[in-house]
Amino acid sequence: SQLAVSRSLDIETGDQLARVDPRALSNRLRSFDWIENSQISRNWISGKVSVSIATRTPVALYSEPGKPQVVLDSSGNTFATPADIADGLPKVSAKSVDGGLAAIKVFTALPESFSKNIDRMSAARANNFLIYGKFEGQDLRIIWGDGEDTLLKIKVINALLEQPENKTIRMIDVTAPHAPIVK
């Protein structure tokens, strides 16, 4: 947050400009893992210190087994969840950051009409995904398989959910979308 950054820099109005060390201030900002990079400069004419910060852009709330939830950016960096993190980020669990990034790639390829029903995704491996969510009023676990045939898989899931005999199912396996399994 802005207040935390301001406190970290510890610059007061009236401080001598020559005593402000931009490199030391940049090093202090590195302690905030949500800051991707920063630039600090002194303007000798105006007597002002300029601070420019680029923050990491979160793409998912991410968790690994036995570890607390963090935020994941598109480069695979994880960082603590800032208090004002945007709601609506997908939740992903995986055994590795690579698996988490692969799951996000699949998630972002899904049409919003489908992805809005997803509570969380899990990546057992970088090519084996599980989707948990509420579809047509049913809590489902969808064994997605790899990231291929996305539109076909969605079409198969929708067709299965339209069938009256599938109103109580809890699992759909579309790993092989031409031969889906329901339970």
Output b/e per residue, 88-119; b: 16+ Cβ within 10 A.
ebbbbbbeebebbbbbbebbeebeeebbebbe
Q: Within 35-176, where are the H helices?
A: 97-109, 112-115, 150-162
Q: Rounded CA gap, 79 and 72, in Å?
A: 7
Retrieve residue 47's tokens: 């007597």
Give the pLDDT mean for 10-39.
81
User: Helix (H, G, I), strand (E, B), or coil: what is residue 146?
Assistant: coil
Q: Rounded CA gap, 29 and 106, in Å?
A: 33
Judge whether 36 and 20 are in contact, CB under 8 Å.
no
Q: Give the pLDDT band (50/70/90) at residue 3.
A: low
pLDDT at 144: 97
The CA radius of gyration of the chain, in Å to the nearest whole number, is: 23
Is the pLDDT score of 180 beyond 90? yes
Over residues 56-103, the pLDDT tens digits come to 888 898 999 889 888 899 899 998 866 666 567 889 999 999 999 999
pLDDT at 34: 83
Q: How big is the CA angle at 98 (ends 144 and 30), to the nearest 5 degrees?
A: 140
Nearest to 133 by CA among 151, 157, 149: 157
